[in-house]
Structure 1
């Protein structure tokens, strides 16, 4: 049984927690010569009604997610990671990150920031990282922001 990671998913949502998680993910991918899959899920539940779910809103969300991930990709490549994929999908972040994408990408490690939500949202929805830890079939690494930062 190999102890190396080959397919790593890093969930990036633009938060500071995701930024810290990304830095760790790059180091791990580099050490393991793994493929780093930069993932951003556009949460379709945030479009509450049919008229609010306007194609142009969806397209602009997609473009900005892609731009965000491409900036991270450039940084990862510069740091020496050979294989970096950008994955932008629509759906429920919890389901996509813990179940759908790991299966599709054959992931053996998922890395995410400790939280991307404020206290109220966490209380109502639970954090994505919590859900990933509970339901993912592969290893999960949750990165905490260093104290005092």
Structure 2
């Protein structure tokens, strides 16, 4: 039995780790002739302050996300991925990616970068990639960067 992925979600945030995950996602999407969903979650917890929602910060975050995703979509097209689309979501990336984005697109694979959190941060809040792995109902590929391998 050969397993082919048909709907691949790649989570991107502009970091080196997500850049590496995106490059791997392109290769896997091409090999499987799969749909590639390039997703960015605007982390609303980091935008909201104690009393108010900072609308200008939300607007800047949306502009950044749109530009980031358009750039990734251009790269995917240039590399020969014919079925790629972008998706912006809002909330906590570690929850939204596995529980909402993956379900919305019927993903059978989620690809994300390993985060560079230190041991204390991982203990307190857990990394995004750990949570995606824990809550996803499909396969998850966590792509390590060179820095992660040195730790």
Q: CA RMSD in A?
A: 1.7
- Structure 2 Cα separation of the partners of residues 116 and 137 of structure 1: 24
Structure-2 change in CA distance of 1:20 and 1:90 (3 Å): same
The 8 Å contact of residues 15 and 116 in structure 1, kept in 2 or not, is answered as no
Structure-2 change in CA distance of 1:93 and 1:81 (3 Å): same
Structure-2 change in CA distance of 1:123 and 1:48 (3 Å): farther
Structure-2 change in CA distance of 1:102 and 1:28 (3 Å): same
- Report the counterpart of residue 11 of structure 2 in structure 1: 11
Q: Does 1:94 align with 2:94?
A: yes
Q: Deviations over 1:43-84 (max 9, x none)?
A: 111113342x12221111011111011111111110000011
- Structure 2 Cα separation of the partners of residues 117 and 76 of structure 1: 28
Q: TM-score, normalised by structure 2?
A: 0.90
What is the count of residue pairs matched by the alignment?
147
- Report the counterpart of residue 77 of structure 1 in structure 2: 77
Unaligned runs of 5+ in 1: none
Q: Displaced runs of 4+ in structure 1, greater than 4 A?
A: none
